Amino acid sequence: MSTAILIGREARRLARHPVLWLVPVVAAVTAAADSASDGRNADYWYGTIFIAVAFFGPIIVLFAANLVASGARRSRAEEMLSVTPISDTRRTWAMSLGIALPLAGIGAVAAAAMAAIGSLNDIPAKDLMNAGELAQLPLVIAGAGLLGVLAARWLPFAGGVLITFVVATLGGLVAFRRFDGGAWWMWWTTGMTFEGWVPGPGRPWLHVAYLTGLCACAAIAAVYRSHGRRLVLVGGPVLAATLVLGGLQLP
């Protein structure tokens, strides 16, 4: 019961964090700056929501979630909070869920809005995302939040989240160069394409499963940071399954 209340508290802390509120600000500023040559039509709003949730959103969420998750350490409240009956493991579960669930909710609302705009308006079929692709949005943004929690747990010092961001970006670029990837790819967006390779039916859902695996890996690694045995026992199979799901998407 107290874990459920804690999840709510952590969600509230994230919602109130000023860094998170940069997402709508950045989205509004970039939307205002966009010349929108065809006018602010349905296609324009469809793209704007996608960019806010799948591009700006995860980067900002990574930093906001990290600041929330590292709040006790940064404010030197850790010792006082650690002698309560709720264990560190339960507190981190609550933190992870309190951050991931509302973010996934925001992603789901955005995906629903895009689906509604797509169904009600005349948007070219090539610009429309299918259900599997839309289902990736909540996982991308929740995953960025979980990565922020993970960085707070494993790199508990100032700059840890920045290192995470740089390593993830550079690592992603280096890894995906090997696979003759498409024109553009970044770890914080929904997926990638390969030149001359058309994803078959069901592939977007495979990517949904892969992103779910990544989210689970991040949460498990954060929660069992100080329980090496449990980390291996629980995290090992999940990581293996995630790697298999990732490998299946390669051409």
Partner 1 sequence: MTVRVQSATRSFGRTTALDSVDLDAGEGVTGLLGPNGAGKTTLLRIIATVLAPDRGTVTLLGRDPSRPGDRTWIRERLGYLPQEAGFHRGFTVFEFIDYVAILKQMTDRRARHDEVRRVIELTGLASVSAKRIRALSGGMSRRVGLAQALLGEPDLLLLDEPTVGLDPEQRLRFREMISHAGEGRTVVMSSHQTEDIAALCTRIAVFHQGRVRFTGTPNELTAQAAGRVWADTRRSPAALAAWRTGDGTFRNVGDPPAGAELIAPSLEDAYLLLMGEPDLEVTHS
Among 52, 201, 217, CA closest to 132? 201
For partner 1, give the closer residue by CB, 72 or 209: 72
Which two three-digit tokens encode residue 81? Answer: 């909070």
Q: Pick the piece of the chain touching partner 1 (CB under 8 A) from 45-53, 72-80, 170-178, 228-236.
A: 72-80
For partner 1, give the closer residue by CB, 47 or 71: 71
Which two three-digit tokens encode residue 130? Answer: 């299918």
Site map (CB under 8 A) of partner 1, residues 83-122, x = contact = xxxxx---x-------------------------------
158 touches partner 1 (CB under 8 A): no
Which of 37, 75, 122, 184 contacts partner 1 by CB under 8 A?
75
41 touches partner 1 (CB under 8 A): no
Instruction: Name 206's Cβ contacts closer than 8 Å, sequence gap at least 6.
Output: 245, 248, 249
Which two three-digit tokens encode residue 145? Answer: 């939040």
Among 67, 66, 32, 72, CA closest to 48? 32
Q: DSSP of 171-190, one letter per residue?
A: HHHHHHHTTTB-S---TTSS
228 touches partner 1 (CB under 8 A): no
Taking CA 205 as the corner, what is the angle to CA 204 and CA 211, rounded to the nearest 5 degrees? 90
Which of 6, 61, 150, 223 contacts partner 1 by CB under 8 A?
6
77 touches partner 1 (CB under 8 A): yes
* Distance of closest approach, residue 79 Cβ to partner 1, in angstroms: 5
User: Residue 59 and residue 204: Cα distance in Å, rounded?
Assistant: 22
Q: Pick the piece of the chain touching partner 1 (CB under 8 A) from 6-14, 107-115, 142-150, 189-197.
A: 6-14
For partner 1, give the closer residue by CB, 84 or 130: 84
User: Residue 69 and residue 153: Cα distance in Å, rounded?
Assistant: 8
Taking the CA atoms of the chain, what radius of gyration do you get in angstroms?
Answer: 19
Could you list the residues that contact partner 1 (CB under 8 A)? 1-2, 5-6, 9, 13, 16, 71-72, 75-87, 91
